[in-house]
Amino acid sequence: MKLAGRVSQVTPSITLAIAAKAKAMKADGIDVCSFSAGEPDFDTPAHIKAAAQTALESGKTKYGPAAGEPKLREAIANKLKTDNGLDYKPENVIVTNGGKHSLFNLMLALIDAGDEVIIPAPYWLSYPEMVTLAGGTSVIVTTNASTGYKITPEMLRKAITPKTKLFVLNSPSNPTGMVYSPEEIKALAEVIVEADIFVVSDEIYEKILYDGAKHLTIGSLGEKIFAKTIISNGFAKAYSMTGWRIGYLAGPAELIKATITIQSHSTSNVCTFAQYGAIAALESSQDCVQEMLQAFTKRRKVMLEALNSIPGLSCSKPDGAFYLFPDISKTGLKSLDFSSALLEEHQVAVIPGVAFGADKNIRLSYATDMETIQKGMERLEKFVKARI
């Protein structure tokens, strides 16, 4: 069959493929320790589920507006004001089928053939693929542990050309977990304003912060940067709502209107009753977020100590998200060979860093129970020791 040319330009998501393989092995009765999924292991909080159930029972089962339920758009605008200091009206907000879909809508609405999008590596693996699908060109700027896996203002300035349209900022980051400090965000904002490019701030992990780290939304730094900022966020990570598929995009009204038009011809609205769960997530107590964060904090400590006690591995301490990104280069293995052999020989699933543009690393998610973490770290130690 002759498929469209764009198909050959993208690859299937490695993270989803490995997570699926680990799940299939588990279903076959194999004792797998999986650190592959970017998914909190908690159930969605009961009050969120109850709100969706009530909506379902009261007939919120029909098509809704392509832009999202008005009440949810308003709740999101309020959240962006209260949490992030951003002055958006509901018409600046579109509700999407998850953060991934937010970014996809954005790329389709903003990026033309020939436009360049600057993406710091290590990056979340879908960014470059989305740029490609939109016909644009990704300009990857490689960072490493020496700058804490962060792009510096100098690096950003150097990557900008007359074709640059968008810069992708992801803090806290998947896969490294790093968080840009407020000073670093300010310095990047200056470059963005000066170059007159757009920035999309992917803030899906904004609530998952440790050791007093602060999340500063780049668009809150003044009118000029606000006009160039698009926020992408969602409910999956903070509220353990991965399967609900609800995210949002906020930004200049003209751009949001364009994404609504695109969405109206692709997915129509997001599941109507699910959006009522999202309203409850934003408008009810945030204690559930704190409870999950406490569990992540304990697991992060245990996994980080275990990783750094394995001779040959080294891992910096990230301030956010729920991933660790150790350097495996001393084993002499490339990340895909490392991950495949680890899964085959010791039934431990991790994601090869090459998927994120960093072949010297692997990504481990600690959004899993403590017993799995302990068992998995013992297996990993055996695997690495045999190779060092």
Interaction site with ligand PLP (CB under 6 A) = 38, 98-100, 124, 170, 174, 202, 204, 234, 236, 242, 247
Q: What is the DSSP letter of 171?
A: S
Q: Which is nearer to ligand PLP, 116 or 202 (CB)?
A: 202
Cα dihedral 26, 27, 30, 32, rounded to 10, equals 0
Q: Measured from the CB of residue 64, what is the shortest distance to ligand PLP in angstroms?
A: 19
Q: Report yes or no: 110 and 255 within 8 Å, Cβ to Cβ.
A: yes
Q: Measured from the CB of residue 111, what is the shortest distance to ligand PLP in angstroms?
A: 17
Q: Which is nearer to ligand PLP, 109 or 310 (CB)?
A: 109
Reading the block at residue 115, the tokens are 């436009």
Q: Measured from the CB of residue 170, what is the shortest distance to ligand PLP in angstroms?
A: 5
Q: Which is nearer to ligand PLP, 100 or 215 (CB)?
A: 100
Establish whether the linkage from the previous residue to 122 is cis, with ω within 30° of 0: yes
Neighbours of 54 (CB within 10 A): 14
The Cα 210–Cα 324 span in angstroms is: 13
Reading the block at residue 84, the tokens are 């992030």
Contacts 24+ apart (CB under 8 A), 128-133: 128/357, 129/10, 129/11, 130/103, 130/104, 131/107, 132/6, 132/9, 132/10, 133/6, 133/9, 133/10, 133/104, 133/107
Contacts of 291 (CB under 8 A, 6+ apart): none
Q: Measured from the CB of residue 163, what is the shortest distance to ligand PLP in angstroms?
A: 24
Q: Which is nearer to ligand PLP, 69 or 381 (CB)?
A: 69
Q: Which is nearer to ligand PLP, 203 or 327 (CB)?
A: 203
Contacts of 104 (CB under 8 A, 6+ apart): 130, 133
Q: Which is nearer to ligand PLP, 34 or 170 (CB)?
A: 170
Of 43, 71, 39, nearest to 55 by C-alpha is 71
Q: Which is nearer to ligand PLP, 108 or 193 (CB)?
A: 108
Q: Measured from the CB of residue 295, what is the shortest distance to ligand PLP in angstroms?
A: 19
Q: Measured from the CB of residue 107, what is the shortest distance to ligand PLP in angstroms?
A: 13
Ranked by CB distance to ligand PLP, the top (closest) residue is 98
Q: Measured from the CB of residue 243, what is the shortest distance to ligand PLP in angstroms?
A: 9
The Cα 34–Cα 350 span in angstroms is: 7
The Cα 370–Cα 203 span in angstroms is: 26
Q: Which is nearer to ligand PLP, 107 or 384 (CB)?
A: 107
Q: Measured from the CB of residue 25, what is the shortest distance to ligand PLP in angstroms?
A: 21
